[in-house]
Homo-oligomer: A and B are copies of this chain.
């Protein structure tokens, strides 16, 4: 298996799904729908929907039964990026080498495009539940999805992250781990858990996916810290050194490069060992998780 080729093909398939689920660019609200398209179709690894689909396949899921949740999850991820980039938040003008949504469409429409995407994620989920009447797994997946996206998941992590910029004393390691567990890991957990549940996994299996997601998310975020220091603008597609510039306390700044690299490896190994302990295997998913260690952007 040529991992990178397969991964890129899968990402291209996901792009088609995302486009198919986005609303058409027409009507009085056309401009904000364009902003939704601009931000969703801006490229990226599509890691979250890919993880969702691979967990779905791992637990025996077939066909397009997870497509709506894949799109919805990427919509949630994208809205969080739009709002994160706003002047009142991280004030980033570039992401993935392109101008951010508020730079192109204005702050007001960027706020609304984010709101629209978050809500549209749930419209998409609602449509999927209605298409599978009597299938309680879809309702359970919706419940997990909402929790992991919200105040006890991603948004909760973002809030503590914002405090990082608003106060003088640096964050504690406990707070940093809370941020990573929620701001980043929660949507990875969401992906693996929803994929598993939609394929018919039971609660114990979903809990194992939650643990794997936690390890992957933390590894991913520490790797992000590392790349912010070691990468170049061209590789990363956005300004580097922003954590240091913003005087942000990170896992890396508190523990150093060597310990951070070791932790990324340890967590990835742990995630893979959870995946390898299941009845079935998904080699691509295992490689995908391992690839997070060596990623360059």
Contacts and interface: CB of A to CB of B under 8 A. Distances in A.
Contact of A32 (B106, B136, B145, B159): B159
A107 to B, nearest CB: 4
Nearest to A160: B28
Contact of A112 (B27, B136, B159): B159
Interface string A52-96: 000000000000000000000000000110010011110000000
Contact of A89 (B111, B116, B155, B163): B111
Interface of A: 23, 27-29, 31-33, 36, 79-80, 83, 86-89, 106-109, 111-112, 114-116, 118-120, 122-123, 125-127, 129-130, 133-134, 136, 139-140, 142-143, 145-147, 149-152, 155-160, 162-163, 165-166, 175, 178
B150 A108 contact: no
Contact of A23 (B133, B139, B152): B152
A147 B61 CA distance: 28
A122 B127 CA distance: 14
A69 B162 CA distance: 30
Given A88-B108, A112-B159, 20 more contacts: A23-B152, A36-B151, A106-B166, A108-B165, A109-B159, A111-B111, A114-B115, A116-B150, A116-B155, A119-B146, A119-B149, A119-B151, A119-B155, A123-B150, A126-B139, A126-B142, A126-B146, A133-B136, A134-B136, A139-B139
Nearest to A109: B162
A156 B29 CA distance: 6
Contacts of A108: 88-89, 162, 165-166
Given A29-B159, A88-B107, A143-B126, A115 B112 contact: no
| Most chain B CB inside 10 Å of its own CB: which residue of A80, A88, A119, A150 | A119
B126 A111 contact: no
B111 A123 contact: no
B129 A159 contact: no
A130 B140 contact: yes
Contacts of A86: 88, 111
| Most chain B CB inside 10 Å of its own CB: which residue of A122, A158, A162 | A122
Contacts of A89: 108, 111
